[in-house]
Structures are given as C-alpha cells and as structure tokens.
Amino acid sequence: MLLKLDEPRLFVNLVSVASELVTEVRLKVSSEGMSLVAVDPASVGMVFFNIPSDLFSRFDVQKDETLGVNLDDLKGILRRVKPGSKLTLERDENMLRLTVEDKIRRDFALALISVEGEQRDLPQWEFSSVIKMDSQSFVDVIEDCGVVSDACTFIAEPNRFIVEARGLNSARAEFSSDEIEIASSNATARYSLEYLNKFIKGAKLSDKVSLNFSDNMPVRIDFTTGKVRLSFVLAPRVEQDD
C-alpha cells in the first residue's frame, strides 16, 4: 500500500476533527479509497469520513488494508505538514511510514496497533427532518447554547427550524424556510452540547451542513466538500427537562 496526497490539508483536517471524538481507530483502505467509521468509548457518538481514491495523486493498493492507528499520534505527525507540503503514506508490516516533502524530506514511522471492538458501518435511517444551512450559522447557534446549558433541543416544522437551550438562563435561534433549506414534518429531539461542540469543528471542511433527525431519534450531521464526506451521529438525550 502506497498513497500520496499532493494537497494533504483535507486529510489533516479530517484526522484532527475525528480525534476530538475517538482515539484508537481502524482506517480502511480499499480500491475505492480511504474511510473511517468509529464510535466513541461511551457509545454515544459516531464519526465517519471517506476520501475517494481519485483524490490521491498516487493510490497503489493491491488488497484491502485495515490500519489500526492512534489518532492523537497521527495528528501529532500531521502537524508537521505545512501549506504546500506533499504527504506519502506507506504500510511496512506493522508500521505506517509517512513522508512529508516540501523544502526538505522528512520521514516518520507510526506503529500500527490492534483496535478492540467490532467493525461498524454508518447506520442508514430514514429521517423525518432534513435541515441544510450555512455551517458558520450552525456553529454560532451551538456555541450560543453552550453558554447557558449542557444540552439543546432541535425543533423542526415544515417551515421553520429552532434550536434552543434552557438552564437557569436560555438561548434560542429560529430559522425560516426563507433562510435555510427545510424538508421536514414536525420533529423534536434533544442532544448533548459536549458532543455537538466537537462536531461543529467539521465546519473547517465545508461551508454547508446537513442536519438529519427524527422525533427523539439520533441526529446525523453531514459536512460535504466535493467528493469527501464527514459525518457524525449522536444519540438523543433522554431527560425531559434542562
């Protein structure tokens, strides 16, 4: 296996964002590209990303590979990737060798690890509410809610979408179908802001976000840029009141 990225910034950002939720993961490499599906230790949140093979300037894969990696360690190496750098990844038995090339060539070796737990796939659900909006607006709303509570409520109707949080104080934002894209019946669900604050870092990859949820069901949050997709899944909070 030998992979090369002439513009590795997207991969660097994907690893950085995913490492907010999970540490030890399996990176899958097949003829179709590189992907990751991982669940956090509390089994509350899930992260998924996919980079298709045609985004690599070189993609030599003779067979499907599964790379067990520590994302914190990988992220530390990827911090050495600068604008204009090229990145090569090559498997050498139980090591992942990374080469960063810019003014000089720098070689790193990352030990591959055994990752416990069953292999997961991204769940496929039918959602009653699909909200598409500007990523930065979503970031601002989640950060507003974090000022007053540790959870927020998504409220979707055919022509409006509301995000609100209540503790001793409260925060509320409302969007109409004139401002954002709404395809929804009536649905309400409550989610942890601890997790949402990690997920919104995906806004660095895309200026658009899609929120997919149903009444008191998990939410799937999609950031898509070109052929690359970053998704998160979050279970609902079960408490009735803030």
Neighbours of 31 (CB within 10 A): 10
User: For the chain (length 242 residues), average pLDDT per consecutive 10?
Assistant: 96 96 96 95 95 96 95 96 96 96 95 83 86 97 97 97 96 97 96 98 95 96 92 86 45
Q: How far apart are alpha carbons 179 and 170 in whole angstroms?
A: 23
Q: Which long-range contacts (CB under 8 A, 24 or more apart) does 224-227 make?
A: 225/10, 226/55, 227/52, 227/54, 227/55
Indicate the burial class of 65 (C-beta count within 10 angstroms; 0-12, 13-18, 19 or more): middle
Residues belonging to the chain:
242
How far is residue 91's CA from residue 51's CA, in Å, rounded to a whole number? 18
pLDDT of residue 241: 47
User: Strand pairing partners for 195?
Assistant: none
Closest by CA position to 39, among listed 53, 58, 52, 25 = 25
Q: Where does the chain have alpha helices with state H?
A: 9-18, 71-78, 135-146, 193-199
Q: How far is CA 188 from the centre of its chain?
A: 23
- Both structure tokens of 178: 């004139």
Which residues sit opposite 36 in a β-bridge? 27, 49
Tokens of residue 175, six digits: 């969007």
d(CA 158, CA 72): 42
Q: Which residue has the tokens 């925060």?
A: 171
CB-count exposure of residue 134 (10 Å: 0-12, 13-18, 19+) = middle
Name the DSSP letter for residue 18. H
d(CA 174, CA 183): 15
Domains and CATH numbers, the chain: 2-111 (3.70.10.10), 129-234 (3.10.150.10)
What stretches of 158-207 adopt beta strand conformation (E)? 160-166, 170-176, 181-184, 187-192
Cα–Cα nearest to 135, from 230, 36, 20: 230
Q: Which residue is it, tokens 């950002």?
A: 13
Amino acid 118: pLDDT:
65
